[in-house]
Amino acid sequence: MGQETRVQRLSRHDFPARREELAEVYRRAYVGMEKYAYRAEAERRAYLEWLFQRDPDGFLTVCQEGRVVAWAACHGDWVGPDGRTRAELHELVVLPEAQGQGIGRALLGAAFDLARERGRDRLGLWVGRHNLRARRMYERAGFTVEREGRTWVRMVAPVAPRPESDDEGSLHP
């Protein structure tokens, strides 16, 4: 604790330089929960590339002492199977040693900010069925289960308009 959690968008310039670091945060965050993650290095690289290119403004990072310790990827204009456009949180990872400091919650808040900026009324995600810690975090943030499969659970939250008095954004350009 004790460190300010500053969520930043990753620039197109910074992405290539940070690629290895981002992949390592992802790999380490899923140690012990590998069934919910890409395990091959090439798959992780392709996944990162896809997440970033699809919506660079939704690629959010948290750094501590100059190193990325957490990141999230949110697509603000995701078209679901029902043809509706909504915001979709595709990924959220925090290094094990940085967990429990409120970083996950801060990144989730920034994903809601992006959804709000794009005028979306829903933020959706898929989470591993047995990933109870993440599920608890999402439930506390207002997500409810839309459907539950054998491996993955679909969760959706309403995107509330920002109260007029709350003009202090959590997202740093």
Ligand X SMILES: CC(C)(COP(=O)(O)OP(=O)(O)OC[C@H]1O[C@@H](n2cnc3c(N)ncnc32)[C@H](O)[C@@H]1OP(=O)(O)O)[C@@H](O)C(=O)NCCC(=O)NCCS
Residues in touch with ligand X (CB under 6 A): 29-30, 92-94, 99-105, 125, 127, 131, 133-134, 136-137, 140
Closest CB to ligand X among residues 102, 158: 102
Closest CB to ligand X among residues 11, 144: 144
Closest CB to ligand X among residues 11, 41: 41
Q: Closest approach of Cβ 125 to ligand X, in Å? A: 6
Bridge partners (DSSP) of residue 8 are 61, 172
Contact status, residue 62 vs residue 5, Cβ threshold 8 Å: yes
What does 98-166 look like in DSSP terms, one character per residue?
A: GTTSSHHHHHHHHHHHHHHHTT-SEEEEEEETT-HHHHHHHHHTT-EEEEE-SSEEEEEEE-PPPPTT-
Q: Closest approach of Cβ 82 to ligand X, in Å? A: 21
Q: Closest approach of Cβ 3 to ligand X, in Å? A: 12
Q: Closest approach of Cβ 83 to ligand X, in Å? A: 24
Closest CB to ligand X among residues 30, 78: 30
Sign of CA dihedral 28, 93, 74, 110: negative
Q: Which residue is nearest to ligand X (CB)?
A: 104
